Amino acid sequence: MELLPQYLVNGLVTGSFYALSALGLTLILGLMRVVNFAHGELYMLGGVMGWWATTRLGLDFFTGLLLVAVAMGAFGWLVDRFLIERIRDQGEEPGILLTIGLSIFLANTALLMVGTAPLKVEAPISAGPVFLGPIVLTKLRLFAVAVCALLILAAYLTIQKTRLGRSMRATFQDPMAARLVGIRTANVYASTFAMGTVIASLAGMLLGSIYSAQVSVGGLVSMKAFVVVILGGMGSFPGAIAGGLLLGVSEALWGGYVATGWVDIIGFVLVILTLVFRPYGLFVKRAERA
């Protein structure tokens, strides 16, 4: 049991990464009602672009982060205006097929361009150890957690405190009423998809500085993100954060005490239990369900 604090902290660190990765999917799936199977590939593109910006262009980490945000935001906007806009209000099936096709296209395009080798994003600080009593972390992981927290806070404030955020919430509550009061709902949908794309890509670059960016990582990232969204409840920002932390801690405890080779099964077990007992999500209030 002396390793329990270490496992818990490891789980919280990993869970913060899961939460950030799932926030983009929470916006797109929970608010736009688009089942985005290309979410993992958007994450992957952020990591690949971060590697390209920091190694090939020689930019520092934060400049590269800004470049990735601008480029992927523009990409997300174009995807919504030229692809998703065409199948909006036609049900979920066309969106599923569209994003699956987009996922395949992005993964194979990246494969042709950079290959299968792991790509390391240049980190802004060293990965030296940090000792907090019996708990050992690295400077790079603490830095990544801090950046995750800032990005989550920025996304939350954007939705809750800005004019764009109010337009987004109004559009997703009642699109017709939003149009009647002068909100350009097409721009709101495109902005929401762009915002979700930016969050996913920044998570990819950030984690690419800790682990590596790989073309094949998209499927795993999508799976984890869907697990977090189901646990927390669709469209719930606090739920996405809590769901990510819960998944990270559960995996850390299972890997530490049972078997590391079966860590991924925990997510499926949690999803099954959630769908049986709390189908709206563990952290969605009664009023939000209504």
Nearest to 13 by CA among 118, 147, 133, 131: 147
The Cα 236–Cα 24 span in angstroms is: 11
Domain 4-289: which topology? Answer: ABC transporter involved in vitamin B12 uptake, BtuC (1.10.3470)
What mean pLDDT is predicted for residues 104-129? Answer: 90
* Model confidence pLDDT, tens digit, residues 157-203: 998 889 988 998 888 888 889 888 888 888 999 999 999 999 999 99
Report the pLDDT value the prediction gives residue 281, as an integer from 0 to 100. 82
256-277 tens-digit pLDDT = 888 777 788 888 888 899 888 8
pLDDT for position 138? 87
What are the angstrom distances between the C-alpha of 168 and each of 92, 195, 288? Answer: 20, 11, 16
Say what the pTM is: 0.91
286 falls in which pLDDT band (50, 70, 90)? low
Alpha-carbon gap, residue 277 to 259, rounded angstroms: 26
pLDDT classification of 1: cutoffs 50, 70, 90: low
Residue 67 and residue 133 in contact, taking contact as beta carbons nearer than 8 Å: no
Q: How far apart are CA 165 and CA 174, in angstroms?
A: 14
Where is average pLDDT lowest: 101-105, 160-164, 233-237?
233-237
Q: Do 138 and 130 form a contact (C-beta atoms < 8 A)? A: yes
Sequence-separated contacts (24+) of 245-250 with Cβ below 8 Å? 245/11, 245/12, 245/15, 245/16, 245/18, 245/19, 246/15, 246/270, 246/282, 247/15, 247/18, 248/11, 248/12, 248/13, 248/14, 248/15, 248/16, 248/17, 248/18, 249/8, 249/11, 249/12, 249/15, 250/11
What does the alpha-carbon distance between residue 105 and residue 83 come to, in Å, rounded to a whole number? Answer: 13
> Which residues make beta-bridge pairs with 131?
136
- Tell me 27's DSSP state: I
